[in-house]
Structure 1
Amino acid sequence: MKTIVHPEDRLRLLLAHKNRKMAVSAHAYVRGSTRRFYEWLNQADHAEIPAGPPVWICGDCHIGNLGPVGSGGGGLAIQIRDLDQAVIGNPAHDLIRLGLSLAMAARSSDLPGVVTALMMEKMVDGYTSAFLLEATDDADDVPVPKTVAGAMHAAARRSWKHLADERIEGEAVLPLGSRFWPLSQDERQEVEEFFSDEKIRRLAASLRESGDPDHIPDHISVKDAAYWRKGCSSLGRLRIAVLLQIGKGKERRYCLMDVKEAARAAAPTDPSADMPSDDGERVCQGALALSPHLGRRMASGRLLGRAVFVRELLPQDLKLEIDTLSQEEAVSVAEFLAYIVGRAHARQLDAAARLRWIAELGRSNGSPLEAPIWLWNAVVELVSIHEAAYLEHCRRFALKLERPDEVVG
C-alpha cells in the first residue's frame, strides 16, 4: 500500500530522508553537507589558495554533480549537471570541492592514502590540460575511464520510454508514493498558471524534436504535477515534477519538466561579479556558461512566490554514480572529471587568461607532490573535518533510530 504524503508533512519526511542518505557513507555525507564546505572557505585563513580569474563556477563541484547530459538535439556529453550554487567566483574553489569528493570516494573504497595523493596529482594534470585546448575545442584528449564510459553508453541507449517507465504510471500520471507527493489545490493552480506563461511555453516549444522552434503549439497543458522528493542538499526547497502534454490526438506527446526553487547561493562570490539579482536567472546563466547542453534547455521564472528554474528532463541525463573504485580507476576518474571541470572554466577565458591561470595554479611552494601544496593541504584539512562530522552525524541519527516516534519511514 502506497503512503500518501500531505504538504504539511513534507519537511519532516525530507529531513528523515536526508539523514538516512547522509549516514550511508562519508562520501554521501560530503554530498549532503555543502554548507560545511562553504563555512570552511569563509571562516579559515586560506591565503595560500590562489585567486583565480573570476568565472562562472559550479560552486558545489562534487562527483555526483557531473554526468551525462543530453543537448536536446541528440548530443551527449559529460558536463556539470547541477548548477544551484553557480556563481562568478574563484575556480580554485571548484577544484578543492572536487578534490574533497574524490578523496572521500577513495576512502569509501578503502583505498590507501597514496592513491589519494596520486588522484590529486592526476586531477591537476587533467584540469590544466583542458586549458591548453582552443577555447571552443571540446575534443577529449584525456582517456575516458571505464566507469564514465559505462555511464555514457547507458545514457546513449536510453529513450523516452525508459524515462516514462521510471517516472510515469498508467495513462500519463505521476505515481504518488515514495518519490512523488501530492500538491495542494493552490499549488496545482499556480503550476498551471506558471506553464501558461509565454516564456515557459516557448521553452517547451523549443525542445521539440522537429518543427519550427519559434512556433508555440496551440495546445500545451499540464497533464499531471507532483512535489518531487529528490536529492538531500536542498532540504525544504520547492521541487515539482510536471508532466506536460503538447498537441492533441495522434500528434500529442509528453515531456517531463523539473521545476526547482533557486535559493540564494552560499558559494563565495567574486566581489566585482555582475550577476543577476534573480536566483533563477543566476542558475540559468551559470548553466549556459558551464554546461551548454543543459543551459540551452532551461528557463527561469517565479512560482508560489519563489524564484525557480525549469528544465525538461531527458532520458540521457544521468547522475554519475561511483560507489567503489579500484586504484587504477580512481586515478583515471580524478583526471577525467577535473578535465571536464577545466573545460567548463576554460571556455570562459581568452588564451592569455588561460595561460596566466595555469601558471598561478601550478605553484607548489616546494611540495614534493606534483599537485600544488595549497590543494593538498585544503583537501587533507577538509577530509579530517568531514570524517569527524560524518561520525557525529551517524551518532545523532542512530540515537533518533532508537526513538521510532521521531523517525519517519
Structure 2
Amino acid sequence: MAVKPINFSQLFVTQSLKKQKKMGKKLRDGFSFADLGEFVPVKRDPNHLMDEVRSILIPELLPERTQRMSQSTFSFFRGTAELMEFDLANQKNSPIHAVICGDAHVGNFGFFGSPERHLLFDLNDFDEADINPFEWDIKRLAVSTLLAGQEHDFESAKLTELLTGLGQTYRESLNAMFERTALNRFYPVNNVETVLDTIPAKEWHTNKLHKFLEKAGKRDSEQVVRKFTITDSQGNIAFKENAPRTRHVTDNVTNHLKKYLERYRQTLQPDVSLMLSQYQVTDIVRHSVGVGSFGSLCYLLLLTGTDDSHLVLQIKEALPHRQLADQLDDQNAQFEQNEGKRIVDCQKILQSATDPFLGYFATATKSFYVRQFRDMKASIDLSALDWDQFEAYAKTCAWVLGISHAQSPTSGLILGYVGHSSHFDDAIAKWSADYTQQVQDDYAAFKQYRLN
C-alpha cells in the first residue's frame, strides 16, 4: 500500500511567537492538564496486536525475539511500541502536533559521532517517528523511566518525584530554547561536555564515564571489521556467521544490491554520494539487532575503499507505521513505500546533528533506511547507574527531548501550553504511573501466551 510522504506543511505556523504562546495557553481550556493526566484503559488484546507485528518478521528469529522481550517488564516495554501507540491514539490527546520520536524511552538515547567527529548525546532511534501529539514522547519517556527504575529497585518515592521532574525538565528545556532566535534553535549541538556537566557523582563521572566515552570514541568501521569479520588465506574478508542472528543469505536485497545502493546514493548529499564511489562491495550479511526491531530485515554491508580502508553500513528495514489502530483489526501491517523516507526525514529534524550516510531506498515490497554501523555509537548501561546518576541521566533525556521538539514550528504552541506550570509535570507523572500497571498486565498476558 503506497502512501504519500509525511506532510510537514501541516505544522507550518504563521503567527508570531507571542501569539503562539497565547494560543497554547488558551488550549488548556479545551484540553486541560486534568485531561492530560487521565489514563483511559483501552479494550484490546495485546497479543493480537503483537501478532500483527510478528506476522511481518523473519520466522526463524521470533524465538530469540520472544526471549529478549521476556527478560523484564522494561525489556517487554521496549519491544512493544505498538501497544502504547495504540493506547495513546485512543486517549484524550492535545491538539498540538509536532515531529516526535515516537519511541523516546530512556534506552533510546545515546552517544554518536557528529560529521565533525565530535561526540554527541541525543535521541538515537526513529523507527516510530512521525507527526503526532507532542506529549506522546514525554509520556513514553516517563513510563520507561519508571519501569527501568523499578527494575533496579530504586525507592518508589524517589521515582514518583523523578516523574514530575521529567516534566519540569522538559518545560525548562523548551523555555531555554526559546531564549534563542529561530536560527540558533536550528543549530543545537548536544555535545558530550554539556552532558557530562549534568551528571553528578564525581568518582563515576571522572572514571567510569570517561572510560566508557573513550571506548565509544574508538568504535568505527575498522573496529567493526576486526570484530565481525574473518580473512581467509587468499586475503578475502567476510563477515563471521552466528546463525540465526547473523548469516549470509540470498534474497531480494542481496541479489539486487547494486541497484538498491544506487537508489540509496541518490538520497544523499552530492559530496557523500561522490565519496562512496571510491568504495566497492566486499560482503553483506543479515544481522539482526535490538529488541523491538529484532526479527526485521537488517543487514551489515562491508565496503572497501580504493585505499583498502573500510566502511560498514547498516541497512535496516523500515517497518510499516502501526499508529492507525483501527486498521489492525482487519488487515496485517502493510508495506508503505515511504517508510524509510519518513524515518530519515524525522531523524534529520529531531537530531542535533545527523550521520551524513543516512539515506533510504525501497524495493517493490519493502522500505529500508541506511546508516553507518557503530560509528562512535554507544548507549549508557542503565544497570550500572546509582540513583543520583540515574536521576540525572533521565532528566538529561527529558532536556534533549525539549531541544528536539523545539525544531517543530508548532513548538511555540507547546511552550504556551506547558508554560511554567507544575500542573503539567503532575499530569505527566500521574498518567505515566497509571499506565505502568497496563504495561505490567500486558507483560503478564505476553508471558502466559508465549512462554507457557
Fold agreement, TM-score > 0.5? yes
Q: Secondary structure at the match of 1:226?
A: strand
**Number of residue pairs the alignment of both structures matches:** 363
Tell me which of 338, 341, 347 is aligned to 2:398: 338
Distance 1:268 1:381 in 2: 23
TM-score (normalised: structure 2): 0.72
Distance 2:324 2:224 in 1: 36
2:237 matched to 1:176? no
Corresponding residue for residue 260 of structure 2: 194
Query: Relative to 1, partners in 2 of residues 1:185 and 1:259: Cα closer, same or farther, differing over 3 Å?
Result: closer
Tell me which of 76, 94, 105 is aligned to 1:29: 76
Query: Relative to 1, partners in 2 of residues 1:218 and 1:322: Cα closer, same or farther, differing over 3 Å?
Result: closer
Q: Could you list the per-position Cα deviations for residues 139-197 of structure 1 after superposition, in whole angstroms to 9, with x for gaps in the alignment?
A: 648713658766544322434443223332334311111431221165422123212x1
2:300 matched to 1:244? no
Corresponding residue for residue 3 of structure 1: none
Tell me which of 264, 267, 272 is aligned to 2:320: 264
TM-score (normalised: structure 1): 0.79
Corresponding residue for residue 311 of structure 2: 255
Corresponding residue for residue 103 of structure 1: 146
Q: Could you list the per-position Cα deviations for residues 272-322 of structure 1 after superposition, in whole angstroms to 9, with x for gaps in the alignment?
A: xxxx97111111110100114335431111136311111122431123331
Query: Relative to 1, partners in 2 of residues 1:304 and 1:245: Cα closer, same or farther, differing over 3 Å?
Result: farther
Q: Secondary structure at the match of 1:128?
A: helix
CA RMSD, Structure 1 to Structure 2 (Å): 2.9
Give the counterpart letter for 1:378 in structure 2: W
1:205-354 to 2 correspondences below 5 Å:
213=272, 215-216=274-275, 219-234=278-293, 236-247=295-306, 251-267=307-323, 278-294=338-354, 296-303=356-363, 305-323=365-383, 325-349=385-409, 352-353=412-413
Residues 58-67 or 128-137, more deviating = 128-137
Q: Could you list the per-position Cα deviations for residues 105-125 of structure 1 after superposition, in whole angstroms to 9, with x for gaps in the alignment?
A: 011001121121121122123
Corresponding residue for residue 328 of structure 2: none
Give the counterpart letter for 1:177 in structure 2: N
Instruction: Tell me how far 1:392 sits from its aligned partner.
Output: 3.1
Distance 1:396 1:202 in 2: 43
Distance 1:236 1:284 in 2: 21
Query: Relative to 1, partners in 2 of residues 1:252 and 1:198: Cα closer, same or farther, differing over 3 Å?
Result: farther
Corresponding residue for residue 92 of structure 1: 135
**In the alignment, is the contact (CA less than 8 A) between 2:288 and 2:297 conserved in 1?**
no
1:56-205 to 2 correspondences below 5 Å:
56-131=99-174, 132-133=176-177, 134=180, 135=185, 136-138=187-189, 140=194, 143-144=198-199, 146=205, 151-170=212-231, 171-178=236-243, 179-184=245-250, 186-195=252-261, 197=262, 199-200=264-265, 203=268
Residues 132-141 or 118-127, more deviating = 132-141
Distance 2:104 2:216 in 1: 21
Corresponding residue for residue 428 of structure 2: 375
Distance 2:71 2:438 in 1: 17
Query: Relative to 1, partners in 2 of residues 1:266 and 1:198: Cα closer, same or farther, differing over 3 Å?
Result: closer
Distance 1:352 1:193 in 2: 43
Distance 2:345 2:273 in 1: 21
Distance 2:82 2:263 in 1: 36
Query: Relative to 1, partners in 2 of residues 1:152 and 1:356: Cα closer, same or farther, differing over 3 Å?
Result: farther
Residues 388-397 or 252-261, more deviating = 388-397
Give the counterpart letter for 1:220 in structure 2: Y
Query: Relative to 1, partners in 2 of residues 1:334 and 1:23: Cα closer, same or farther, differing over 3 Å?
Result: same
Q: Could you list the per-position Cα deviations for residues 305-363 of structure 1 after superposition, in whole angstroms to 9, with x for gaps in the alignment?
A: 3111111224311233312543222321221111111111113348844631431x836
5+ long unaligned stretches in structure 1 = 1-9, 207-211, 270-275, 365-370, 400-409
Query: Relative to 1, partners in 2 of residues 1:224 and 1:160: Cα closer, same or farther, differing over 3 Å?
Result: closer
Instruction: Tell me how far 1:244 sits from its aligned partner.
Output: 1.4
**In the alignment, is the contact (CA less than 8 A) between 1:59 and 1:267 conserved in 2?**
no
Query: Relative to 1, partners in 2 of residues 1:239 and 1:393: Cα closer, same or farther, differing over 3 Å?
Result: same
Distance 1:22 1:241 in 2: 23
5+ long unaligned stretches in structure 2 = 1-56, 326-335
Query: Relative to 1, partners in 2 of residues 1:103 and 1:240: Cα closer, same or farther, differing over 3 Å?
Result: same
Instruction: Tell me how far 1:255 sits from its aligned partner.
Output: 0.9
Give the counterpart letter for 1:318 in structure 2: A
2:18 matched to 1:18? no
Corresponding residue for residue 368 of structure 1: none
